[in-house]
Amino acid sequence: MGRILCVANQKGGVGKTTTAVNLAVGLAKSGARTLLVDLDPQCNATGGLGRKPSARHPLVSQTPLREAVVTTATPNLDLLPGSRKFEDVEFLAGADAEQSATLVRHLEAGLLNFYDFVLIDCPPSLGQLTRTALAGATEVLMPIQCEYFAMEGLTQMIEVIRDVMQRNPRRLRFGGILLTMYDHTLELTHEVDAEVRDFFGEIVYRTVIPRDVAVSEAPSHGLSVLDYDPRARGARAYAELCLEVLERE
C-alpha cells in the first residue's frame, strides 16, 4: 500500500490546498502514481487542476471510487473531485466515529492499491471531516504561514493529531511541517522560522515556500505552478519539497 499524506491545518489561507496540488503534481512528475483526494467543500483543489466539482461526493454516493476518479493533464496524476452539494458536505462534516471509519475503509478498499501516493486536501477546520482524513492517513503534512499566531494554531492541530494517533496506534505519523508564504525580507519570518525549528527540530522541512505571484496566479489557469511557470521561485520550491517527501519514505 502507498503513502497517504493528509495535508491539514485548521487555519485558512496558509497554502494548504496550494501545497496539496503542487506536491501532487510534483510527485506525479517524478514517476509516482499519485491521487489527490479533495475533501474541502470549497473544491479549490479540484478547480486548481482544471476540473469541475462532482454533482455528488464520491465518498457519499454509491458510485464505485474507481469510476469516480478523473484523470488530469499531468501523467500519473488522478483526482477524486470534491463536491459543493450541501447534503454531502453536511454528511461528511457530521460523520460520527463509526461512519468515519466506514468512509476510511471505503477509500482504502477502493483506491489505495492503485497508487504510490494519496494526498488528501482537508478543509480549514479541526472538525470531524479533518479527523476522518487523519484517521485514514499514514502521515500528516502541516503547512503554516510565517506569522505571529503560527505556533498557537500549530499547537491546536497537533493536539488533534495526537488524539487520532492514540485511537489508532502505529498508523499515523508526523510527515512534516512546511513553512509557507516565506518572505526573506521580514524579520518576523525569520523569528517564526527559528522558533518552529527550535521547537520541532527535524520534523520541519528544509524547504520553505516563498511568496510568489506565480503561485497565486496558477490556480486561476487550472494549473500547478510547476506547469504555469516552471522557472518561478515557487515552482522550484515545490520541486524541492517533492524531493524531501520522497527522501522521508
Average of per-residue pLDDT across 208-223? 95
- Give the pLDDT of residue 229: 97
Q: Are 77 and 24 in contact (CB under 8 A)?
A: yes
User: Over the stretch 197-207, which tens digit does the pLDDT of each residue have?
Assistant: 998 899 999 99
Element of type H or E holding 207: strand 204-210
Q: Are 16 and 121 in contact (CB under 8 A)?
A: yes
Average of per-residue pLDDT across 125-137? 81
Q: Which three cell numbers stand for residue 11?
A: 487555519
Give, as one character, the DSSP assignment of residue 52. Answer: P
- Give the pLDDT of residue 165: 84
Average of per-residue pLDDT across 174-182? 93
Cα(146)–Cα(148) distance, rounded to whole angstroms? 7
Average of per-residue pLDDT across 153-173? 81
For domain 3-247, which architecture applies? 3-Layer(aba) Sandwich (3.40)
Computed on alpha carbons and rounded to an integer, the radius of gyration of the chain in Å comes to 17
Angle, vertex CA 210, rays to CA 205 and CA 213, nearest 5: 145
Q: Where are the chain's structural domains?
A: 3-247
Average of per-residue pLDDT across 3-31? 93
